Amino acid sequence: MDTKKIFNYLIHIILFLLTFITTTIAGVEWTTGLFPPYEFSTLAKGLPYSLSILTIITFHEFGHYFAAKYHKIKSTLPFYIPLPPIQYFLNFGTMGAVIKTKSPVNSNKIMFDIGVAGPIAGFIATLGILIYGFLNVPPVQYILEIHPDYFSPEYGKDGLQLVFGDSILFILLREIFVKPDTFFPPMSEIYHYPYLCAGWFGLLITSMNMIPVGQLDGGHISYSMFGEKKHYAISSISFIFLFAVGIVGILDSTFGFNLGIGWSGWFFWAMILYFIVRLKHPPIPYHYELNAFRKFLGWLSFLIFILSFSPEPIIIANVIN
């Protein structure tokens, strides 16, 4: 093995280890509310979160990777992206991961296979972690160890609370797995529960990747299924929708309308898509009619997007007592 290959492998390994560290620290912050410096034993409390997040990201990226390998497209291993947690700042410890294809993709069939494999594999991992989280919610003593005054009328009074927004899938799983007579944390406390938190985050990144715009996974799938013109129309409509929902979120947070249908983050994501990712998909030389199985997977991936999407995923609101 030559020196260049060894160096490349080292980059992947180092980035993975750094992401493992940052997600573990983030896991401790999310689940315990404690901030650094930590004792080594405390760091162990962040492992359920970090291992869950890394499992979701790894399934997603290796879905792309193995699909590329199947079609003999040269690609890199995943580059994991660490994000050091910052105190009192919303942070999941990572910005995900990416792979880079190193040879041209000349067919929409190949583009489709590589594009759809990632979100489906990542969604399967996310769903498994979420189901495990719903089936293994710790007893109420768990939240009382973090917030001893949780059931007190004074809990959180005159403060701000972080609320994770519901998605269709999260609502369905709650209806299926949560018994009416058992304690289940409200969405303002979900982040203290590592598997539910990681699964919720998995749904968020799945929905962000599956928006049918440009070279996002959803864009690859849309372009491969519908062709250049229809894809650009779908991409433009998706951008307008995100832009509008983002503006509504900004107005809602600024003026306190409490509409519950917008998030300022979608505005910034729309700007990234428009100026960096771009709305148009780069042309692919050969375009063929997809077979029935690929079309099924394509529509399934868009169903996953609908189930995972939350119009208001992150809410920071005043506590009303």
**163-174 confidence digits (pLDDT tens):** 999 999 999 999
Give me the torsion for CA of 63, 23, 183, 311, rounded to 10°: -60
pLDDT surpassing 60 at residue 321: no
**213-245 confidence digits (pLDDT tens):** 999 999 999 999 999 999 999 999 999 999 999
Percent of the chain with pLDDT over 70: 98
**247-256 confidence digits (pLDDT tens):** 999 998 888 7
Q: Which of 179, 201, 192, 186 shows the shortest CA–CA distance to 142? A: 192
pLDDT surpassing 80 at residue 257: no
What is residue 36's predicted lDDT score, i.e. its pLDDT? 82
**138-151 confidence digits (pLDDT tens):** 999 999 999 999 99
pLDDT surpassing 80 at residue 181: yes
What is residue 216's predicted lDDT score, i.e. its pLDDT? 97
**293-306 confidence digits (pLDDT tens):** 999 999 999 999 99
Average confidence (pLDDT) over 168-182: 95
Q: Supply 152's token pair.
A: 């007190």
**62-93 confidence digits (pLDDT tens):** 999 999 999 999 999 999 999 987 765 678 99
pLDDT surpassing 80 at residue 159: no
pLDDT surpassing 60 at residue 197: yes
CB atoms within 10 A of CB 165: 17
pLDDT surpassing 90 at residue 1: no
Phi, psi of 225 (to 5 degrees): -80, -40
**107-141 confidence digits (pLDDT tens):** 999 999 999 999 999 999 999 999 999 999 999 99
Contact predicate 284/221, CB 8 Å: no
What is residue 38's predicted lDDT score, i.e. its pLDDT? 86
What is residue 161's predicted lDDT score, i.e. its pLDDT? 86
What is residue 2's predicted lDDT score, i.e. its pLDDT? 82
Contact predicate 58/78, CB 8 Å: yes
Average confidence (pLDDT) over 48-55: 98
Q: Which amino acid is at 219?
A: G
pLDDT surpassing 90 at residue 316: no
What is residue 54's predicted lDDT score, i.e. its pLDDT? 98
CB atoms within 10 A of CB 175: 8
Mean pLDDT taken over the chain: 93
**Residue extents of the structural domains in the chain:** 3-318
* Exposure letters 234-260 (e unless 16+ CB within 10 A, then b): bbeebbeebbebbebbbebbeeeeeee
